[in-house]
């Protein structure tokens, strides 16, 4: 068993028990029992100029039991803590969905469910990470597998040796917990992360990673923790440059922002997730002109515009002239585009022309 695992096994268990004991103490003192939870919201997030990451502030809220508005959340927190405690004791792992079902039930004598939707238990799990200072994975709760990777890398996972270059058309699917993966051999020179699984498949089919000697990685939509952690480990342990390829829209930009600076929701684990060195490869407004994608634009909707406005206001973009210019260009154009728009120039245009050119010319946004 790995070093990390042994260390993580006792600590979270202890922390959860400490939480219980603390509450018990309060009850014995006849105090209204409370749990201190750091606030996870934009109001309690700061941009750390030094590390260039989003960091959680130190605002803390008390979650009381005898409080009409808090009681249910209080109960949920304890229920999830109990569930996690059980998992740790039995050394079993459960998915977020599993945990949802472990705590979901109707409280006897009421019409109230402990949790109604998975988002509630997910949110409480994130709270518990903060309360116990342990990540979700350390609490033996995993997210679903999501994302694929391919490239000239050999790793060891649970004793199995895996060559990322020899896994057929599907590639290796990235687990939610990558803490215990050991890199055996890393030949690749850089990592290309893309928003779209379909684009990854295109590049994989074209053996782009082999031709370019790189690693290609993708998820579907938001980047999961496993991917972010994997990116960070490869980035820091092997000093590989990381390029991000997303749709040309505000949501694409935010995917880049999360990978680079960390997210508001998970600001507490930014140091484990954020990779300040990543660069934005495309698609940029310049690309639209250069590769003549104007005909394949989609008009911006209201929610696109409001998201764009929010991005502009983020502390980490505020003083970034290049990005402000990019935002302004998009607003002026009033349109967005998908990566796949490049296919209008030929199915392998992206792997044969666009990407090699961009990487060669180092046309990145930072």
Partner 1 sequence: MTNTIAEELAKKQQAISVSEFFTRNRHLLGFDNPRRALLTTIKEAVDNSLTEDMPLMIKKKGITKIVKIGRFIDNYIEKNKKNVLILRGGNLEKLRLKEDVEVISFDRKTLKTSFKKVSCLFRHKPNSEIFRLRLESGRYIDLTPYHSVFTFRKGMVCSVKLNELKIGDPIIVPKKNWITQKRIHSCKLNILEELIKLDKELTKKINVYGVSNIFNEEVIAQIKSILPREKWYKINDFKKLSYIPLNILRELLISPEKFDDSKIGFSLSRNKIPCILKLNNDFAQLMGFYIAEGSTLSNLEKVYFSFGNHEKEITIYVKDLIQKVFDLNATIIKAHTSALNVTCYSKIMAFVMKYVFKFGTNARTKKISEHIWNLNYDDCYAFLLAYLAGDGYPSKKIFELLKNNNSLSSLPVQKITLATISEKLFVDLQYLISSLGLSYSIGYSKAKKRFIYGKCANFSSSNYIFIYTKQKKSNINKLPVSESILYCNDPQLKHSISRENQTNVYIDTLNQQITSQLTMLHEGVELFLSSDLGVLAIKNIEKIKYNGNWVYDISVPSTENFLAGTGPIFCHNSLDACQDAKVLPSVKIKIKQLEEERFSITVEDNGPGIVRKQIPPIFARLLYGSKFFTLRQQRGQQGIGISAAVLYSQLTTGKPAKITSKIEKNRPANYYELSIDTKKNEPKILVEKEIQWDKDQGTKIELEIEAIYQKGARSVDDYLKQTAIANPHAEIIYFSPDDKRIVYPRASEELPKEAKEIKPHPHGIELGIFIAMLNMTKAKTLTAFFKNDFIRVSPATAKKVCESIVIGPNTRPNKLNRDEAEKLYKAIQGTKLIAPPTNCLSPIGVEALQDSFEKEIPAEFFASVTRPAAVYRGNPFQIEACIAYGGQLPQDKSIQVLRFANRVPLQYQPAACAITKSAIDTNWRGYGLSQSRGSLPIGPIIIAIHVVSVWVPFTSESKEAIAHYPEIIKQIKLAIQECGRKLATYIRKTVKVREQKERANLFEKYIPEVASSLSSLTKEKKEKISSALEKMLKRSLKDLIPEEEPSLEKNPREEKNNVKGKNKREKQTTLKA
Q: How, if at all, do strands 182-186 and 214-218 pair?
A: unpaired
Contact between 28 and partner 1 by CB under 8 A: the answer reads yes
Contact between 94 and partner 1 by CB under 8 A: the answer reads no
User: 107 CB contacts (<8 Å, ≥6 apart)?
Assistant: 113, 114
Q: Which is nearer to partner 1, 27 or 328 (CB)?
A: 27
Contact between 36 and partner 1 by CB under 8 A: the answer reads no
Choose the catalytic residue: 64, 101, 190, 251: 101
User: 190 CB contacts (<8 Å, ≥6 apart)?
Assistant: 212, 214, 215, 240, 241, 242, 243, 359
Q: How, if at all, do strands 182-186 and 190-194 pair?
A: unpaired
Among residues 47, 52, 71, 233, the one that binds partner 1 under rule CB under 8 A: 71
Site for partner 1 in 103-162 (CB under 8 A): 107-110, 112, 114
**Stretch in the footprint of partner 1 (CB under 8 A) among 15-23, 116-124, 177-185, 221-229:** 15-23
Asked if residues 214 and 181 have their Cβ atoms less than 8 Å apart, the reply is no
Helices 321-333 and 250-261: angle between axes, nearest 10 degrees: 160
Contact between 65 and partner 1 by CB under 8 A: the answer reads yes
Q: Which is nearer to partner 1, 32 or 173 (CB)?
A: 32
Cα dihedral 87, 89, 92, 93 in deg (nearest 10)? 40
Among residues 36, 46, 59, 66, the one that binds partner 1 under rule CB under 8 A: 66
β-strand partners of 185 = 154
Contact between 68 and partner 1 by CB under 8 A: the answer reads yes
Is 101 known to be catalytic? yes
Q: Which of 49, 51, 56, 57 is nearest to 315 (CA)?
A: 49
By CB atoms closer than 10 A (0-12, 13-18, 19+), residue 160 is: exposed
Contact between 30 and partner 1 by CB under 8 A: the answer reads yes
254's tokens: 């935010």
Contact between 32 and partner 1 by CB under 8 A: the answer reads yes
Site for partner 1 in 229-258 (CB under 8 A): none
Contact between 17 and partner 1 by CB under 8 A: the answer reads yes
Number of chain positions touching partner 1 (CB under 8 A): 35
210's tokens: 């082999």
**Stretch in the footprint of partner 1 (CB under 8 A) among 22-30, 143-151, 244-252, 346-354:** 22-30
Contact between 14 and partner 1 by CB under 8 A: the answer reads no
Residues designated as active site: 101
The residue ranges that bind partner 1 (CB under 8 A) are: 16-17, 19-21, 23-24, 27-28, 30-33, 64-69, 71-72, 74-75, 78-79, 81-82, 85-86, 107-110, 112, 114
């Amino acid at each position: 068993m790995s070093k990390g695992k042994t260390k993580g096994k006792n600590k979270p268990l202890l922390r959860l028990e400490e939480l219980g004991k603390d509450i018990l103490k309060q009850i014995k003192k006849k105090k209204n029992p409370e749990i201190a939870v750091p606030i996870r919201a934009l109001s309690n997030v700061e941009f750390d100029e030094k590390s260039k990451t989003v960091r959680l502030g130190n605002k803390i809220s008390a979650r009381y039991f005898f409080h009409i508005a808090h009681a249910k959340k209080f109960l949920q927190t304890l229920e999830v803590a109990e569930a996690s405690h059980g998992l740790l004791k039995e050394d079993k792992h459960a998915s977020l969905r599993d945990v949802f079902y472990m705590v979901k039930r109707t409280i006897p004598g009421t019409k109230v469910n402990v949790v109604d939707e998975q988002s509630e238990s997910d949110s409480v799990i994130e709270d518990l990470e903060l309360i116990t200072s342990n990540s979700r994975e350390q609490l033996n709760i995993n997210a679903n597998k999501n994302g694929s990777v391919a490239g000239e890398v050999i790793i060891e996972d649970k004793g199995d040796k895996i060559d990322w270059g020899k896994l057929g058309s599907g590639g290796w699917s990235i687990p939610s917990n990558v803490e215990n993966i050991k890199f055996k051999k890393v030949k690749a020179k850089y990592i290309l992360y893309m928003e779209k699984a379909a684009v990854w498949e295109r590049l994989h089919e074209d053996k782009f990673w082999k031709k370019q000697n790189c690693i290609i990685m993708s998820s579907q939509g938001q980047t999961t923790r496993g991917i972010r952690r994997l990116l960070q480990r490869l980035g820091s342990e092997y000093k590989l440059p990381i390029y991000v390829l997303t749709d040309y829209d505000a949501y694409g930009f935010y995917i880049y922002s999360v990978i680079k600076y960390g997210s508001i929701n998970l600001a507490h684990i930014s140091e484990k997730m954020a990779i300040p060195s990543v660069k934005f490869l495309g698609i940029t407004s310049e690309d639209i002109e250069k590769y003549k994608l104007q005909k394949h634009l989609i008009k911006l909707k209201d929610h696109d515009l409001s998201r764009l406005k929010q991005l502009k206001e983020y502390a980490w973009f505020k003083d970034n002239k290049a990005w402000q210019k990019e935002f302004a260009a998009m607003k002026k154009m009033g349109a967005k585009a998908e990566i796949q728009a490049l296919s209008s120039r030929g199915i392998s245009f992206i792997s044969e022309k666009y990407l090699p050119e961009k990487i060669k010319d180092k046309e990145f946004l930072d």
